[in-house]
Structure 1
């Protein structure tokens, strides 16, 4: 029996692997070792602030604004503890993903200078704009065989990981934001942390024909925020926009580059697994939808939406110079699907 292999499918798979490699391949590793190494550096008091049960509702308390949070922060760490904490973060992200977290944190200093408000304080008296005010929480007991999770969160960052059998099995919801979107003054002038997310989105929408744009653009006004916000569940979002299959070959290539920017933020083995899951659900079932202006500097929004995936990008605040992005696995945010099976097995 002869099996026909579609040439486009081969090219697409090859393109996927090349993109993931270029984004920073790293060997798969048991992240529980990194988590336990981090915990071993902490005093009992700091451990108590860091550790929660896997079932604790705090695990679902995702947010990305300056606010009081649970967990230890960089303020609590000496250099050894800081290094161990960052080693855990590096073990879960690609090089590009990790660098984005550093740059987003550094924007807190930019905001503090721009806003120049010495009275803008958190309840603990620290500045509201603070690159050290990012929190580490661990849910459950880090183990190479059991399910556990951890979170890294602060202003414009929310990274939620779940591990089982030593591997990351869920890394969503993921939120990364940037304010300013483009730094316009000071020593960091010109910095644009989410540049690829913005430029490739514009490149794709502005490559559409008039007829394609009628399908892709669902509103003249951009929503004021990503639609999923910080909700535990993404909810039912209407599938709008133009289907992948309705794009020409050049547009498909841009679409895939844009998709890879988001998928490529995670460590290679999870990025590869997530992409395989997206492909199994069908690249042809993904839609690209746009709202708002087609030009930089004015409010705009886009999303990539499919059977199991939702990616959102929004740039509406601060005269469209304040970007929010989110990635949601509609079947497994917070590892809901895996935990459900895990608890069912335990009850048996």
Structure 2
């Protein structure tokens, strides 16, 4: 997930022309606050108003029973089943127990939740701590923080773990750029454990904070990492000890190459809107936080109609580019689980849609989505949140993955588990 230091001299460093004025009320306030005080600015004082309004809407969505993202409002059955994905559940369980063994009673009460807790769904990616549960890595002893990171390393693929670390380091870099290290730093992330770590029963964990949110469900040798969100502003560290660290450029590169490879007819089908904030967009298609994303935080039940060009109609070389994109989006999964999930995606290429918003020149910002019955992968270039670029820029990127048709949070697997190897009264109540 890192590039040589020479990459720091490339155009991606253009973010520095958009460094904000830190002598404004917004940045003086954030610099003067810790994470709790920063959250109070939103939750008690309703600043900024647009985000508070979005938060209120999110909490209304949270009250809905979980259904899952769909393309038409109807959950399609029979897509997901139990299988051996070769996940090293013994090592993962031992790493989780090492975390539990270090929790104080007060920490345990906040961190160890029921496997069916609806709090699986209360993650979000802004820097505001909107759901204060679990332990926060920058507020616990180093040994406990290291144990949590060891659990991430045991669960994720090596390259997926490095990507997560890179996102965390970039978050710390941003905190330094805007003089807000108490709110945004390398360890400003919350960790929650659902269920009891076990090699036989279902359980999982959530890790969330600014620009990195991971939801992990485990059952024996099977894993679901979904939903997840990964972003970066900027997506390149150009100074300091982690200089040269960059993420999300592969997703960007392969997506652009795919769009540029399309014929005029295919491109016309793929293109949904020509402008990133297009006048033709219906109300709600763009919002201040998610911008063009449709499946972000609290959007667990969103109906997202298919649009774009069908991947199954593309040439072999173009389908190979789709595979390259999907490998990046499945990177958090251990190798065998990733291969199986990619095969699931390939089996549905005949009903997989690729759509695009924006230009497709080398310098153009853009949005794209790959969507099928078994995966939704979104990519979006954003305008500035902490940096001052008013228009979307290629150095601020948001990506996310959903498993539609009740696949998120392992929900589609839970009835199979209930019918087989755990008590019959086990139900998913999220």
Same fold (TM over 0.5): yes
Residues in 1 aligned to 2:119 and 2:150: alpha-carbon distance in whole angstroms = 23
Matched, 1:346 2:413: no
Task: Give 1:311 shift.
Answer: 0.5
Instruction: Give the TM-score of the pair, scaled to structure 1.
Output: 0.82
The correspondence for 2:184, drawn from 116, 124, 129, is 129
Contact 2:86 2:221 in 1 (8 A): no
- Change beyond 3 A, Cα 1:187–1:221: farther
- Change beyond 3 A, Cα 1:244–1:227: same
Cα deviation code 1:229-284 (max 9, x no counterpart)? 2125252212111112222222222221111111132112321332233234x223
Contact 2:170 2:235 in 1 (8 A): no
> Paired residue for 2:104?
43
Task: Give 1:186 shift.
Answer: 6.6
Task: Give 1:98 shift.
Answer: 0.8
Contact 1:26 1:94 in 2 (8 A): no
Matched, 1:293 2:354: no
Q: Secondary structure at the match of 2:317?
A: helix
Matched, 1:323 2:397: yes
1:120-269 → structure 2 map (5 Å cutoff): 127-164=182-219, 166-183=220-237, 191-222=245-276, 223=286, 224-269=291-336
Choose between structure 1 and 2 for higher RCO, CA contacts under 8 A separated by at least 6 residues. Answer: 2
Residues in 1 aligned to 2:299 and 2:416: alpha-carbon distance in whole angstroms = 19
- Change beyond 3 A, Cα 1:246–1:273: closer
Q: Secondary structure at the match of 1:102?
A: helix
Residues in 2 aligned to 1:81 and 1:185: alpha-carbon distance in whole angstroms = 29
Of residues 233-242 and 194-203 in structure 1, the stretch that sits farther from structure 2 once superposed is 233-242
The correspondence for 2:89, drawn from 29, 41, 44, is 29
- Change beyond 3 A, Cα 1:181–1:76: closer
Contact 1:108 1:130 in 2 (8 A): yes
Residues in 1 aligned to 2:343 and 2:256: alpha-carbon distance in whole angstroms = 26
Contact 1:97 1:266 in 2 (8 A): yes
> Paired residue for 2:409?
334
Contact 2:211 2:231 in 1 (8 A): yes
**Cα RMSD, aligned residues only:** 2.5
Unaligned runs of 5+ in 1: 1-24, 121-125
- Change beyond 3 A, Cα 1:296–1:115: farther
Contact 2:308 2:356 in 1 (8 A): yes
1:95-114 → structure 2 map (5 Å cutoff): 95-114=158-177
Q: Secondary structure at the match of 1:172?
A: strand
Number of aligned positions between the proteins = 314
Contact 1:289 1:302 in 2 (8 A): yes
Cα deviation code 1:191-231 (max 9, x no counterpart)? 43111011111111111121211111111123523111212
Residues in 1 aligned to 2:413 and 2:316: alpha-carbon distance in whole angstroms = 36
Residues in 2 aligned to 1:184 and 1:242: alpha-carbon distance in whole angstroms = 37
The correspondence for 2:338, drawn from 241, 248, 271, is 271
Of residues 53-62 and 321-330 in structure 1, the stretch that sits farther from structure 2 once superposed is 53-62
Contact 2:95 2:147 in 1 (8 A): yes
> Paired residue for 1:314?
380
Q: Secondary structure at the match of 2:155?
A: coil
Task: Give 1:133 shift.
Answer: 1.1
